[in-house]
Amino acid sequence: MLGASQPWVEWSWVRTHLHVIRHDLWEHVLLTLIAIGVGLLITFVLALGARAWRPLEGPLLAVCGTLYAVPSIALFALLVPFTGFTTLTAEIGLVGYTLLILLRNLLAGLDAVPEDVRDAALGMGFSRWRLLTRVELPLALPALFAGIRVATVTTIGLVTVTVLIGEGGLGALLYEGFNDNFFRTEMLAGAVLVVVLALAADLALVGVERVLTPWTRREAG
């Protein structure tokens, strides 16, 4: 076994490298937050476009689907000659992969709004904009949140790969531990933290969704 003489956890290393771990964890969170934030923004614009002009929906989903189907390492690598070893390269890829998941879920959520509800709102004199922001979007939230959860957990995994283009967040711990003669403590720290981060983010999103959609609980309970 490689590096068999070392223990899996050297606490002295952890204690002296807390700032490194904190830095990588924060970078990981930041890369993920930017990706999901920008992804959501673009998704809203695309969804509004698709709602305003229906024939746009198919082509939009097809473009996002094609982007989603490009292997991640290949996509990051293909961008390097143009945008270099930068955060921008990482984010273009990360945002690109969120679009299909988010857009599909948001459109499905909007489509599922009952016609009666829409009619009632219009009958009460709601404008198109108020109908969208006060009725349709809130009712689409559960579907959108399902998408945000999948996109977030997927993005947290994808961020590790960006270590190959000089980013990586916790992926840097994995990669540097590996390159530092299979230093187990560092590799394990990266692996454990990235899984914990993904599960924690998923749980946090479930919590946020419950707060934002109290009516779904009343129905279920």
Using CA atoms in the order 213, 215, 218, 221, what is the torsion angle rounded to 10 degrees? -50
Give yes or no for a contact between 39 and 103, defined as CB atoms under 8 angstroms apart.
no
Angle at 118 (CA atoms; ends 113, 120), nearest 5 degrees: 135
Report how far residue 8's alpha carbon sits from residue 19's, in angstroms, rounded to the nearest whole number: 20
Binding flag, residue 194, other proteins (CB under 8 A) = yes
Q: Which is nearer to other proteins, 40 or 174 (CB)?
A: 174
Q: Mask: binding to other proteins, 8-47, rule CB under 8 A, as x and -?
A: ----------------------------------------
Binding flag, residue 184, other proteins (CB under 8 A) = yes
Q: Which of 198, 209, 213, 216 binds other proteins (CB under 8 A)?
A: 198
| Token pair belonging to 130 | 């108020």
In the bound complex, what is the minimum distance in angstroms from residue 206's beta carbon to other proteins?
12
| Token pair belonging to 203 | 């749980």
Query: Rounded to whole angstroms, what are the CA distances from 97 to 89, 143, 172?
Result: 13, 18, 21
In the bound complex, what is the minimum distance in angstroms from residue 171's beta carbon to other proteins?
6
Binding flag, residue 182, other proteins (CB under 8 A) = yes
Report how far residue 158's alpha carbon sits from residue 149's, in angstroms, rounded to the nearest whole number: 14
Give yes or no for a contact between 213 and 141, defined as CB atoms under 8 angstroms apart.
yes
Q: Mask: binding to other proteins, 71-110, rule CB under 8 A, as x and -?
A: xxxxx-xx-xx-----------------------------
Binding flag, residue 125, other proteins (CB under 8 A) = no
Binding site for other proteins (CB under 8 A): 1-4, 69-75, 77-78, 80-81, 150, 153-154, 156-158, 160-161, 163-165, 171, 174-175, 177-178, 182, 184, 187-188, 190-191, 194-195, 198-199, 202
